[in-house]
Chains A and B, each alone.
Chain A
């Protein structure tokens, strides 16, 4: 599906060469930073700085004009004032440029009438020579595989999550959060005003892109709702599509004469549209990244019957009860363990002081050594009534009891358990007073493909969404046959 988009947007995500217009030898202008960032990221093709200052930047000659660039140019990044953009597009036409990204802002987002007019003129020029426009008012493309960073040189590892974002700020946040939480992107794009290429184009590209397995989106509005809706329907059929709609404005301000009109808020319609398209709606950056993380790390949903293990050394009790509540409130089931498992646990840990239902409090293991703790967790993970294991690991409690070495062993066990169990193991690391140690453990677990969340609520929500997507899709197919 949408295979034609791969070829169409090849020069956008995999340009052979990039020119940056608005670079200067001395200044810290956006254009100059872009040249340096591309250079230090190791962009594999020629980079052509263009600016009136002349001289050199990052060891590269600055060309006074785009037309004077010696080689061919696929992609142009523009960081010059808006008064000059039309002239620049003439230069792009002369050089047979394939795509232009405008960092330049100050168009329809600030002045609806004047800005729109200028945008239309830009489009007209670009269409004459089939030049594609990204933006204006955007930071454009992020493609770690092709060494295209986001501004300020932000570049993570290459992975399987793709994203589109109307906002550059949110796009950047997705990438930096991704770097911290091992959510690795195949590619992403911030498209700003989207006067030519917009969310629909990029979603279609990501749906076709073999490197992308899950897609995230941040959107504030659309100029072509019908196309976006139809695109999302198609895209969600082939890949999980997670959407955060920002800007909860009540666009339904126009006086309605019907009950329906008075109830149809913009927020309600977006939610309905996403549901109808088969997309997963999330609210906020945390939910978006949590959901991308779980899709990337687990791939498929395997069920929502969770075992919750807490109180690894102490501090279970109420925390375990709260963890159980959080899971059930967010759509997971927390079924009682089988009689057999309970019996074995009670032999191992004793009846007193432990809770052997579910959530399971294994704190009594602290008096019987780590081996007993690992055995207890293993017993729970093996129980056939559950298909996902959530472990609450409180560093503030574990560190004083087991010290650094014990902590290391515990987490090594989780990693080992995760690799040998065919059930997902998920670790919740609540923030507390031992942040450096906690972050270290988080990194270690994430590198071993164990999803880590900082609260049970967030973990449960993400797991629920993952499973809903896959069960919804199955339902989908069955229904299509019937119709």
Chain B
């Protein structure tokens, strides 16, 4: 079960999500450079390395993420860079190592998250991912439990919906897969009241499926 620590790491968060049937890109913890290289070989290149620390929230801002690593040499270099960069920015951070995962092919980036409202309890959020969620705040909310119909409506409610349908020749995102994912997240947070906040950001949506590439769970 969930540890009584406030911020779960990506690997821990994804483990819980996977058990709940929520599609994720699986990540494994490498405690050393050697482990990182061997895990990469197991998974197949290209891979992504991310810092694994319960104290680091904004991983990419502090040089804690390296994308598209194509071979063992690149993985080894990336490992050293990540560790030294984090040590510089957060000298007191507890560093477990790095997470290793296959590099997901690009898709439409969306975000699904949960936070708790003082009056209505857990609420889910849906929006387009990346810069769009932060700058335009083009997001929709629903109170948990979120039904299939609610999920359908909250996806269609955002202004950026045409992007999901495949705008100007871009590949569309599978709306049914997103609906299913939202309902599953709703069920997951209902069953786990100790979760205070949750971000699946980004989720890559493809024409036939949707997968969470990064995940963050914060406990009460």
The dominant DSSP class at the B interface is: strand
A260 and B139 alpha carbons, distance in the complex (Å): 9
In angstroms, how far is the closest chain B Cβ from the Cβ of A145?
34
> B52: CB under 8 A from chain A?
no
Contact partners of B111 in chain A: CB under 8 A: 259-260
Chain B proximity of A225: nearest CB distance (Å): 4
Are A264 and B137 touching (Cβ within 8 A)? no
**Is A177 part of the binding interface, using a Cβ–Cβ cutoff of 8 Å?**
no
State A272–B124 Cα separation when bound (angstroms).
10
| Chain A residues with CB below 8 A from B197, complex form | 256-258, 260-261
Flag if B115 contacts A256 (CB, 8 Å): yes
From B57, B141, B153, A268 is in contact (CB under 8 Å) with B141
Contact flags B60-80 to A (C-beta < 8 A → 1, else 0): 000000000000000000000
Residues of A within 8 A of B115 (CB): 256, 258, 260-261, 264
> Considering the chains assembled together, what is the distance between the CA atoms of A252 and B164 in angstroms?
29
Q: Judge whether A371 is part of the interface by a CB distance below 8 angstroms.
A: no
A455 in the interface (beta carbon within 8 A): no
A residues in contact with B44, CB < 8 Å: none
Residue from A256, A272, A275, A479 whose CB has the most chain B CB atoms within 10 Å = A272
The answer to whether the Cβ of B216 comes within 8 Å of any Cβ in the partner chain is: yes
Among A257, A259, A264, A275, contact of B117 (Cβ-Cβ < 8 Å): A264
Bound together, the chains give a CA A252 to CA B216 distance in angstroms of 19
Cβ–Cβ contact A259 & B113, under 8 A: yes
Contact A226 B216 (CB under 8 A): no
Residue pairs across A and B with CB atoms within 8 Å: the count is: 86
Q: Which residues of A contact B134 (CB under 8 A)?
A: 259
CB contact between A272 and one of B127, B143, B149, B201 (< 8 Å): that residue: B143
Closest to B139 in A: A263
A433 to B73, CA, bound (A): 83
Closest chain-B Cβ to A87's Cβ sits at a distance in Å of 34
Q: Mark A457-483, 1 if CB is under 8 A from B, else 0.
A: 000000000000000000000010001
Min Cβ gap A105→B in Å is 23
Q: Does A322 contact B (CB under 8 A)?
A: no
Q: Is A221 an interface residue when CB atoms closer than 8 A count as contact?
A: yes
Contact with B along A237-276 (1 / 0, CB 8 A): 0000000000000011000111111011010110111011
Q: Closest residue to B127 on the A side, CB-wise?
A: A263
A27 within 8 A of B: no
Contact between A483 and B143, CB atoms less than 8 A apart: no
Q: Tell me whether A260 and B125 are in contact in the complex, defined as CB-CB below 8 angstroms, given that A225-B117, A479-B149 are known contacts.
A: yes
Q: Which residues of B contact A479 (CB under 8 A)?
A: 149
Q: Chain B's nearest CB lies how many Å from the CB of A389?
A: 32
For residue A251, give the distance in angstroms from its CB to the closest CB of chain B.
6
Of all chain A residues, which has the CB nearest B126? A260
Chain B residues near A260: list those with CB within 8 A.
111, 113-115, 125, 197-199
A258–B214 CA distance with the chains assembled, in angstroms: 12
Bound-complex Cα distance A229 to B118 (A): 14
**Complex CA–CA separation, A222 to B153 (angstroms):** 25
A56 to B143, CA, bound (A): 55
B15 at the binding interface (Cβ < 8 Å): no
Q: In the complex, what residues of B have CB within 8 A of residue A226's CB?
A: 120-121
A468 CB to nearest B CB, Å: 13
Q: Name the residue among A221, A257, A261 with the largest chain B CB count within 10 angstroms.
A: A261
**Which residue, B7, B140, B153, B197, has most C-beta atoms of chain A within 10 A?**
B197
Tell me how far the C-beta of A234 lies from the nearest C-beta in chain B, rounded to whole angstroms.
15
- A263 touching B137 by the CB < 8 A rule? yes
Please state if A259 and B140 are interface contacts (CB–CB under 8 Å).
no
Contact with A along B126-161 (1 / 0, CB 8 A): 010000011001011111000111100110000000
Interface string of A204-230 (1 = CB under 8 A from B): 000000000000000001100110010
A253 to chain B, nearest CB (A): 10
CB B156 to nearest CB in A, in angstroms, measures 12
With both chains docked as a complex, state the minimum distance between the C-beta of A220 and any C-beta of chain B, in angstroms: 11
Which 10 A-B residue pairs are closest in the complex by CB-CB distance? A260-B113, A225-B119, A272-B141, A261-B115, A225-B120, A258-B197, A258-B199, A260-B125, A260-B115, A264-B115
Q: 5 A-B Cβ contacts within 8 A?
A: A251-B118, A257-B218, A259-B199, A260-B197, A272-B142
A interface residues (Cβ-Cβ under 8 A, vs B): 221-222, 225-226, 229, 251-252, 256-261, 263-264, 266, 268-269, 271-273, 275-276, 479, 483
Interface residues in chain B, defined as those with a beta carbon under 8 Å from any beta carbon in chain A: 7, 57, 111, 113-115, 117-121, 123, 125, 127, 133-134, 137, 139-143, 147-150, 153-154, 197-199, 201, 216, 218
Given contacts A222-B119, A259-B201, 9 further A-B contacts (CB under 8 A): A225-B120, A258-B113, A258-B114, A258-B197, A258-B198, A258-B218, A260-B111, A261-B197, A263-B139
